[in-house]
Each structure stands twice: as C-alpha cells, then as structure tokens.
Amino acid sequence: MEVSIVTVDALSLEQKIGQMLLVGYPGGAAGEEVLLAELEKRPMGNVILFSRNGTDPDPLRYHLGRMRGAIESRTGIAPLVALDQEGGIVARFRAGLTPMPGAMAIAAAVAGGGTDLHEVEELAAISGAELVSLGFNWNLAPVADVNVNPANPVIGVRSFGERPETVADLVSAYARGLERSGMLATAKHFPGHGDTSIDSHLSLPRVDASLERLEMVELVPFKRLIAERIGSIMTAHVLFPAVEPEAIPATLSYRVLTGLLRDGLGYQGVIVTDCLEMKAIHGRYDDAPARALLAGADMLCISHTAAIQETAFDDILAAVRSGRIPESRIDASVRRILGAKAKIAARTASGVALAEPRSVRKAELCSRSSISLIGETKMPDMSGGGLYIDMLPDALTGAETTQIVAQSVKSALEAEGPTLKAISLPSDPDQSAVDSAVASIDGTPVVIGVYAMARHPAQAALVEAVRAACDARGLTLSFVSMREPYDAAALVALGGKARAVLCAYEYTSLSARAVARVLSGVDEPRGRCPVSIMAGH
C-alpha cells in the first residue's frame, strides 16, 4: 500500500476530522452506495468491515480495492481498513482463510507445551499476511485483557488467561506476528475489560479494583506492548473509579486516556475507541465523540450507522470552530494517524496464497494441542462405541458474528469413523430434546458437549437427566466444554462421582475436529487450562 506524503498542515480541518473517523457500513451493493454517498458529503478517512460486507476472498478483495480507491480519491490519503480478526469465536472472515484458534485455546496449547511463543507469532503472521493480501491493514487484535472474572460475559475465552505475565508474553508474540505481516496491531481494551460482569455492548460495566491491583494485573500486558511500541490501543467502555472518580467510562475519561495512558505510561501511538454505538456509551452520554477526543482518543470507531457517523463529524467540526476543541488537539491526533499509516506502508508484505496446507497444519496442530483434561479422571475408552450429545453453539456476545460452524463435533466424529454415535441439540434444549437425548443412550459410554452451560440453564436440565439415566445403568458419563472452561467446575464431580471433562475453549470447525480426534482415541489431551477452575488446576 502506498500512502501519499501528506503533512497535517496541508490538510483542511474537514480532512483532518475525516482522518479521525473509523466507519462501518452495511453489506452488499446497497452498503457500498451508503459509504460512497457519505464520502461525497464528508471525507471519512478509514473503514471497518464485518462479515456483512462479504465473505468469499475474491469478491472481498475486489470490494476492498474499490472502497480503498474511493476513499483515497476523496481524501488524498489511503485509508486504514480495519476488522476484528481475533481468531476463535471472533473472526469476521473465515471462508478461504487459514482457520485460527482463539486466545484461550492458544494459551492452553502453550501451557501444555504443544505450542511455543515463536509458533504463536507465526500463526499471527500467517493470519496477518492473508488479511493484507485481501486489502486489510489494521487488525483490532490482540485482546490484552486479563480474564480474572469467571462470570465475564464478553471477554472470557477471548483472553489469553488470568495470569498477567503470561498474557503479556502471548499478546506480545501475537502483536509481533501481526505487525511483521504488514498489519497495524491493536491492544484492547484499555485499561482492562477482564474483571467485568456486564457486556459493554449491552450496558456499562464497572471495575472496582484499586489502582495497585490495576498495576499488578490489568496494566501488565498493556505496559509490555507500550514498551514494544504497538501501533494502536483500543479503549474500554468501562468505569474505573480508582482512576476516574466520576461516572465516566475510560473512553471518555481524560484521567484514563491522557493522565494514565499518555502521561503515566508514555504511550505515543494511536488511541482508538471501541465502537461508540455500543450501549455502554450510546444513549447514555451526550456528545460522546467530542468528549472522547477531549479525553485523548485519536480515532473514533462508529461501526454501523451513517447518521451517527455524520453527526459525529459535524459535532466535532462545530466544536473546533467554536473553540471548545483546540485545532492543535486535532492536529496532534492526525499526526499520529498519519504516522501509523506511513509505518505500515513502509512494511513489505508479499502476496500470499490463502490457506496454504502448511499454514492450515500449523493452526490445526495448535488447536489439537489446546484440548485440556480437567480433573484426574481420564476420558473413557470409546473404541467399542459411545454416544456424543452435541450442544450446538450460538452467539453469546455483541463481539461475535452469529456462529456458523462448517463442521460440528458430530460431523467430525462421523468423519473419524462409525464407532461413535452422535446427536446434535440446540444450546437451549427443550423437554423433547432432553427426552431424545435420554432415549439415545444405548449402553455405551456417554459424553455431553456443553456450550456455555452457565448461560444456558436448559442445558443443566439435560445434563441432570442424562446423568440420572447413566448412573442408574452404571454407564460412564463424561463431558466436553466447548466454550467456557469455568463450566468444568460444575461437572467434574457431578452427582458425587468423578467425571472426565475436556475443555476446547471455542466451538469452531477447528476445535470440533480436535475434540473428535481425542474422543476417537487418535490424540491425547495435551493442553493445560490457563485459568483456575478448581484448586490445583
């Protein structure tokens, strides 16, 4: 990608404001027209894409070329083209790309010795190079949050774990790989979203930790990445009373973004907000775009609605003209943004073939190495047959695209051979599904693949019904946690009996195949869970 040599002084005020906006738009040809119409009115400088904007690589590459050309023609500067491609449960584009494990699965593979930090960097570089070849240059990853709250509804397995130094090591490796590939990487969500019990897509979370605890836990990965000069950091829509005593989330707080991040930690890169349409901000705080800029944000992410994007642009323009926002404040941010664009333009990113066999194998080996056994009880020998009850996934958070799994555990088991019988049920099974599961028990060992059981109460009813039937007939009952490892705590001693529990950390085609290999006796579970489930684990 080439970036025109442009200085802040050469830009009009409108052009500078356009550089500070990261905008999304609807899918399809109609969505393209929405963006092009918006560009006619305002020089929006950067875009963020979601799965709604296309899926197959060749049309996506063509589309991105058109949109990038339109933005550069309008603004005189090549855009940042962003996406959230964390791997695992948050991957906007899957078709034709090397499938990537998510953060907690990677951490489990590293903890178990099946993958090392160099290989983590390699995986990130593979993902980044493929995205660059499509036309992206900014990945809003990795997640640097330390997940210390088992009830966290939005971070969870998107985090590399609960140990700050381990998370720091892993996000550092992942960010290096992305930036090596020619991408701008992003540490999120500052100063830490890992101890929340509310999804900021839906409401406003709060972290009541002391400043000392923040220094010892939440800030550790961010400090590492700041020292390594990561290109961008994303803000959290979270209250941190230890830093900001007023009821203002980090995204809108001068004390957090300027006092802590800029002045305290010395960060010099681009600060980008999480999407300002999330319910933690939108409808709760008036004038959020201007307030975020005054707090210290450089770029405002508004992912969906053209009218909200246009209002943000116009309000910032009016605030500068009225003197509320000094133009020097705008200039400082635009210099950082232009610097980030020049930095990635200077990197050489050769074109790569997508989903090369070598790359896919690396990702598959990592996923296979992530499968973790919780407790001391081994999985039963199912070579003589068995029943697998497959709870199919759904999207649990605002960060996820609706789950479409190309290969389920059921289909992966069937591909391994006919020994194991499998049935698939929805994540919220009704009584007829429970009855069907119990009726399927045939005298062989039973394994239930739960999916975020704590958030799907109907699964608990199914588990109890199957447990009662298995115990009454003297059959072995085991489990696979296909999402949150914390579910294992309720399963390892269910009904007063020791139960084997495997953790897969995500329900993807990659993890489905890895689980099927363990259940079929092809692989042993080699991962080590990176969060505490019970004492000693």
Does residue 182 share a domain with residue 121?
yes
Q: Which of 329, 346, 363 is the last residue before a domain boundary?
A: 346
In a domain, 388, yes or no: yes
Of 346, 363, 385, which residue is a domain's last? Answer: 346
* Same domain, yes or no: 386 and 320: no
- Are 329 and 401 found together in one domain? no
For residues 184 and 332, membership in a common domain is answered with: yes
More confident of the two residues 219 and 537? 219
Residues 339 and 375 in one domain: no
Q: What is the pTM of this model?
A: 0.96
**Domain stops at, among 346, 362, 396:** 346
pLDDT at 192: 97
Q: Is residue 356 part of a domain?
A: no
Same domain, 90 and 239: yes
Within 10 A of 247 (CB to CB), how many other CB atoms are there? 11
User: Is the domain of 229 the same as that of 327?
Assistant: yes
CA 393 to chain centroid, in Å, comes to: 16
Least confident of 174-178, 380-384, 475-479, 492-496: 380-384
Catalytic residue numbers read: 201, 274
Interatomic CA distance for residues 364 and 522, integer angstroms: 14
514 is in which domain, residue-wise?
A: 371-519
Let me know if residue 364 belongs to a domain.
no
Whether residue 277 has pLDDT greater than 70: yes
- Asked if residue 86 belongs to a domain, the reply is yes
Compute the average pLDDT of residues 108-121. 98
DSSP summary character for residue 261: I
Residue 55's pLDDT band (cuts 50, 70, 90): confident
User: Does 533 fall in a domain?
Assistant: no
CATH number of the domain where residue 396 is located = 3.40.50.1700
Tell me how many degrees the CA angle 508-205-81 measures, rounded to the nearest 5.
55
The alpha-helical segments, DSSP class H, found in 143-287 are: 164-180, 211-216, 219-227, 254
Question: What total number of domains does the chain contain?
Answer: 2
Are both 342 and 416 inside the same structural domain?
Answer: no
Q: With respect to residue 6, please indicate whether it lies within any of the assigned structural domains.
A: no
- Asked whether residue 530 is assigned to any structural domain, the reply reads no
Question: Residue 242: helix, strand or coil by DSSP?
Answer: coil
- In a shared domain, residues 44 and 103: yes
Which residues lie below 8 Å from residue 44, measured CB to CB, with a gap of 6+? 18, 21, 23, 35, 38, 71, 75, 309, 313
**Joined tokens for residue 447:** 């394994």
Pairs from 67-73 (Cβ < 8 Å, separation ≥ 24): 67/32, 67/35, 68/135, 70/35, 70/36, 70/39, 71/39, 71/44, 71/45, 71/46, 71/47, 72/4
Q: Check whether residue 93 and residue 193 sit in a common domain.
A: yes
The predicted structure's pLDDT at residue 535:
41
- Residue 134 — pLDDT band, cuts 50, 70, 90? very high
Residue 399 has a pLDDT of 86
CA atoms within a 13 Å half-sphere pointing along the CA-CB vector of 513: 16
pLDDT of residue 252: 98
Average pLDDT along the chain? 94
pLDDT value, residue 255:
98
> Are the C-beta atoms of residues 182 and 142 closer than 8 Å to each other?
no
The 372-374 sheet, strands edge to edge: 372-374, 501-503, 477-481, 446-450, 386-391, 420-425
3-state helix, strand, coil in the chain (%, to 5): 45, 10, 45
Residue 1 has a pLDDT of 40
What's the average model confidence in pLDDT over 472-499? Answer: 96
Q: Is 21 helix (H, G, I), strand (E, B) or coil?
A: strand
Is residue 221 located within the same domain as residue 312?
A: yes
For tokens 């003297």, the residue is: 474
Dihedrals φ, ψ of 233, to 5°? -135, 135
pLDDT computed for residue 404 by the predictor = 59
Residues whose CB is less than 8 angstroms from the CB of residue 92 and which lie 6 or more positions away in sequence, other chains included: 49, 50, 51, 83, 84, 85, 401
Lowest mean pLDDT segment, chosen from 321-330, 346-355, 373-382, 405-414: 346-355
Q: Is-contact 344 183, C-beta < 8 A? A: yes
Q: 67: domain CATH number?
A: 3.20.20.300
The CA distance from 340 to 182, in Å, is: 11
Please report, rounded to a whole number, the percentage of residues in the chain having pLDDT higher than 90.
Answer: 90
Q: Is residue 526 part of a domain?
A: no
Give yes or no for residue 273 having a pLDDT over 70.
Answer: yes
Instruction: Based on the fold, state whether residues 108 and 222 are members of the same structural domain.
Output: yes
In this predicted structure, what is the pLDDT of residue 419?
A: 83
State the pLDDT confidence band at 418, using cuts at 50, 70 and 90.
confident
Q: Distance (Å, rounded) from C-alpha 294 to C-alpha 290?
A: 6
Least confident segment among 12-21, 288-297, 412-421, 467-476: 412-421
Residues counted in the chain: 537
